[in-house]
Amino acid sequence: MDKKDLQILSAISELGTGSPERIQEKTDIPKSTVHYRITKLQEAGVIEDDLYSIDLSSIGLEITLISEVSAEYEEGYHTEVGDELSQIEGVNKVYFMMGDTDFVVISKLADRNMVEELIADFEEIDGVNRTNSQFVITTVKDTTNPIAAYSSEALTSMVSETE
């Protein structure tokens, strides 16, 4: 697992494809080399299947953290705070909602230090006044694409048919 592997994994994640050509464009690593590396990563179990889902624990991202962040209500504050939260390294999802909790933030981290840093980053943001973080013990279900949570039959009955 060297820099070249990580460049390839990053490219797969960012592009959403394992296409050697696309990865070459992104990384300047020749497509035949990309192909060779991907084969090795599959053998090692880092890339789990033909759809290129990546085993996060094999690159150290073992901790999932769910954080509730609430912020002061002032004009414009909420979008600004949301943007700042979303830019913190390691943050995957930021949901904004009305009510007691303003934001739910989901992040993947490697160790306790990164957890400390993340929480410190939250509290440094201007306008944030309360944070509460919990470690995820198990992710019971994780479908990346919400549509996959429905059968095409269920979708058909939901969507008004447009001829």
Binding site for DNA (CB under 7 A): 4, 19-22, 29-33, 35-37, 39-40
Six-digit token string for 119:
């929480």
Binding of residue 56 to its own copies (CB under 8 A): yes
Could you tell me the smallest distance in angstroms from the CB atom of residue 45 to DNA?
16
Do the Cβ atoms of 8 and 34 come closer than 8 Å?
yes
Could you tell me the smallest distance in angstroms from the CB atom of residue 26 to DNA?
12
Could you tell me the smallest distance in angstroms from the CB atom of residue 95 to DNA?
33
Six-digit token string for 115:
């957890």
Angle at 39 between CA 36 and CA 42, to 5 degrees: 150
Binding of residue 75 to its own copies (CB under 8 A): no
* The binder of its own copies chosen from 41, 90, 115, 122 (CB under 8 A): 90
Binding of residue 74 to its own copies (CB under 8 A): no
Binding of residue 17 to its own copies (CB under 8 A): yes
119 binds, among its own copies, DNA, none (CB under 5 to 8 A by kind): none
Q: Are strands 63-71 and 103-109 parallel, antiparallel or unpaired?
A: antiparallel
Residue with tokens 């309360």: 130
Tell which residue, 39, 45, 4, 3, has the closest CA to residue 18. 39
Cα 99 to its chain centre, rounded Å, is: 25
Q: Using CB under 8 A, which of the segments 32-40, 45-53, 69-77, 120-128 binds its own copies? A: 45-53
